[in-house]
Chains A and B, each alone.
Chain A
Amino acid sequence: MNKRWLELSVGLMMVAGVAALVALALQVSGGNMSRNAQSYAISALFENAAGLGPKAKVTMAGVTVGEVVSVAIDPNALMAVVNMEIYGQVDYLSIDSSASILTAGLLGEKYVGLTVGAEEEVLVDGDVIEDTQSALVLEELIGQFLLNFGDN
């Protein structure tokens, strides 16, 4: 056994182990740094963005066209700002597009559904969608139903 090769392979194993730990830190447990360079960013203001988180799908007609980057609160409007990355090839979302927060199945994850409007002009990097429909909060619905039920 060549001593040089032996030392090299041990060094490589060390590097691989540490690299695996770093990958676990970045890719598996948090900040995924990779970003699609071709995509552009838009955001939408929602009354309620319950259940929506980073990496959630953004779809149009049921097809994934992007993903949610972050969800924050807008201190002026006091509404939830959902920042999204839309794939570069999807460059035909008109400026009067609307966004709604939908649920995949009864227990499934939340995602954003976009519906394209009629305008010729399209959304570009940094635009904000204002025509939105909030997340469905099951508890509120049930509460409302019970209230109506009680009135009758």
Chain B
Amino acid sequence: MINLIADLGSGLLGKLVRIGQALLMLLQATIVRPKASSFSRLIQQLYVVGVQSLIIILVSALFIGMVLGLQGYTLLAAYGTEQAVGQMVALTLVRELSPVVAALLFAGRAGSALTAEIGLMKATEQLASLEMFGVDPLHRIVAPRFWAGIISLPLLVAIFSLVGIYGGHLVAVDWLGVYSGSYWGNMQQAVDFNGDVLNGMVKALVFAFLISWTAVYQGYTCVPTSQGISAATTRTVVYSSLAILGFDFILTALMFGGTV
């Protein structure tokens, strides 16, 4: 019995130590005066992390918007209030679905790739050789990837919301015949820029931090073998997905819990 409690304690302490290590690593990597050359490395990573995630974001946004339009129409038409479909699609996307789904896709598409890349650099001793040259791998490898994630995800979430709303428009207005003015009008009456759009962006920023942090930490500290990299990549996706969903509940409770 005593052993069990001791094991629990040591397990918890171990987790706390790892979180502390990850935080220290992040501080070391990011708190530094940027050089001119770090900007071009950031652009490079923005391309890999952001631009290359665009296709999956655009396609999923379009389909999620279309499904929302279809489901919302079917449900609301039963009460003769299908004009409210625009407001339903917009609020669902802007408040919840865009940040969460885009973040989950981003964790799978970009987070896993970051972990695998950094892990492989570690396994092939590229990180060690950088250190031999006197170049800090935290600044050179970790920092641009971390910042690229932080910058990309909010932009992708904004694009996701807009494309999703037009996807809903496509189904509800163009195919099912809801009046376009009602679609936009009800939406504009219901959606508040500060309360809904900006809060969605805050969520995106928090999720971007969680994903990028998890991804670079898991890559940087992985066991430098093929199994180790594979396990670290899996952990990145699992941990960041769980963190996204958990934090989403907390943020929603803080942002929208008191209202309605």
A-to-B contact residues, CB < 8 Å: 6-7, 9-10, 12-14, 16-18, 20-21, 23-25, 27-30, 32, 53-57, 64, 67, 104-109
29 contacts between A and B (CB under 8 A): A6-B47, A10-B43, A10-B47, A10-B50, A14-B155, A18-B158, A20-B158, A20-B159, A21-B158, A24-B197, A25-B193, A28-B188, A28-B197, A29-B187, A29-B192, A30-B191, A32-B184, A55-B181, A55-B186, A55-B188, A56-B181, A57-B182, A67-B181, A104-B80, A105-B81, A107-B79, A108-B81, A108-B83, A109-B186
8 A Cβ contacts from B189-203 to A: 189, 191-193, 196-197, 201
Counting contact residues on chain B (CB < 8 A from A), the size range is 35 or more
- The verdict on B236 contacting chain A, using a C-beta distance below 8 Å, is no
Q: How far is the CB of A50 from chain B (nearest CB, A)?
A: 15
Closest residue of chain B to A106 (Cβ to Cβ) is B80
Complex contact B179–A64 (CB within 8 A):
yes
Complex contact B80–A16 (CB within 8 A):
no
- The verdict on B20 contacting chain A, using a C-beta distance below 8 Å, is no
Complex contact A20–B161 (CB within 8 A):
yes
Closest residue of chain B to A17 (Cβ to Cβ) is B155
Closest residue of chain B to A11 (Cβ to Cβ) is B43
For A109, give its contact among B94, B182, B196 (CB under 8 Å): B182
Q: How far is the CB of B244 from chain A (nearest CB, A)?
A: 19
- The verdict on B165 contacting chain A, using a C-beta distance below 8 Å, is yes
> For B189, what are the chain A residues with a Cβ–Cβ distance below 8 Å?
53-55
Closest residue of chain A to B46 (Cβ to Cβ) is A10
8 A Cβ contacts from B178-225 to A: 179, 181-182, 184-189, 191-193, 196-197, 201
Closest residue of chain A to B159 (Cβ to Cβ) is A20
> For A20, what are the chain B residues with a Cβ–Cβ distance below 8 Å?
155, 158-159, 161-163
Considering the chains assembled together, what is the distance between the CA atoms of A18 and B181 in angstroms? 25
Considering the chains assembled together, what is the distance between the CA atoms of A23 and B196 in angstroms? 14
